[in-house]
Structure 1
Amino acid sequence: MTKLSVNINKIATLRNSRGADNPNVVKTALDAERFGAEGITVHPRPDERHITYQDVLDLNEVVTTEFNIEGYPDARFMEIIHRVKPAQATLVPDPPTAITSNAGWDTLTHQDFLKEICAEIKAAGVRVSIFVDPDPKMVEGAKACGADRIELYTEPYAANYQADRDKAVADYVQAAEKAVALGLGINAGHDLDAENLKFLKEKLPQLDEVSIGHALICDALYQGLENTIQIYLRQLK
């Protein structure tokens, strides 16, 4: 069974555009869980342009499914992880000015840094996932760093899905096979949507979790949040 974790960053972006509390991120998270989401994901960036530090604390009080906090492991992120102790911390290599994640970690070049970070997070009782490109060498590096899971960066898959879906998914199959052989769990995320998700799941039956925000929230504008979550769940099951 592959879990659907709903990323609610875009809800916070919409709220922040007016400076008030509508839509409310806590209510959205609770509704998403009520509608079938099996996890809630947030990515609190240093400039707080969407999810804020306070949002993370508020969500931690109410989220009953798996709470996944993504981010670059700087001092602020590590403080959040130690204070909140979510189910999962997903390490991404984004610089503070990045609009969104656009590459996975080079787990070989940054192995010493990531090994130290993974050890610290795991000592706090939190599962660690490292965001990587679909490259078996990067998967091996993640294992060497001490990660529990990898999260496959799926933007290249999504971008090439229409042209040749078998070719688009080929590298991901190899990376997933390597992860399974090494005993790593497998997550995936970035630009996954209701059209390309089912095929990815078929080719990567080992998937533990997908994290989806932008496309899901966009679909919800037309189809409603409850219906959209159910649509995405059907692609996975």
Structure 2
Amino acid sequence: MAWSTRELAELAGTTVKSVRYYHQIGLLDEPDRAPNGYKRYEVSHLTRLLQIKRLAGLGVPLAQVAEIGTKDSDGLASIFRTIDAELEATVEHIQNIRQELAVLSRPGASTDVPTGFSAVAAPLRDNDRALLTIYAQLYSDESMDSVRRILEADPNPELDEAFRDLPEDADDATRQALAERLAPVVRRPGGDHPVKLVPKATTPHQSAAVHSTIQHALEALYNQAQLDVLRRARQIGTEPG
């Protein structure tokens, strides 16, 4: 018994286009033809097509499907272990997406702050939210957890508003007074930073890029008076008591 291309594709649960493509790349041998010129597929072709379909369904690249018959057991195991590791990473990625979707589905969740920051987002302005989003991209999860805990546990709405409302043309006395109030937040007694921001960067070049990006973001998101206050606050925080 022989089958046409369409019949073979239907039996294997695939498409005529796929069968022809497998011929084109050398995965499936061309069958003999009947006197009328039509292809005549045999059981061996169906078996091979089912094997190709199975391996491709498992994630084996078609380029490696062709090599399967030439690999020893160690070679085969290596191919399948690699695919399994890739699937594991994909599953982890999907789980992370589902966790984030679960958080975003809660009442009051916000998409313009990093995951987990919705509870502290209400008083934040657009520039604060933008900076947090950039932080989440560049700094470790542990760093962001620390930032969130500070925002949750140590709120000072009046001081926050004074900084956020500081005009570009604020005079020197106003800047200095605000810097002195901010200094304990920028650097706590004993010389410990409230938050230690650890970049995700793994090379000196990447670390330099993180520093440059944050500096650029600060300059874009806050006015010069605010940046001056932050510089003064850090300087006060480093001075001997």
TM-score band by shorter chain is: under 0.3
Report the TM-score when normalising by structure 2.
Answer: 0.22
Higher relative contact order structure (alpha carbons within 8 Å, sequence separation ≥ 6): 1
Question: Which of 1 and 2 has greater Rg?
Answer: 2
**Which structure shows the higher helix fraction?**
2
**Which structure shows the higher strand fraction?**
1
Report the TM-score when normalising by structure 1.
Answer: 0.23
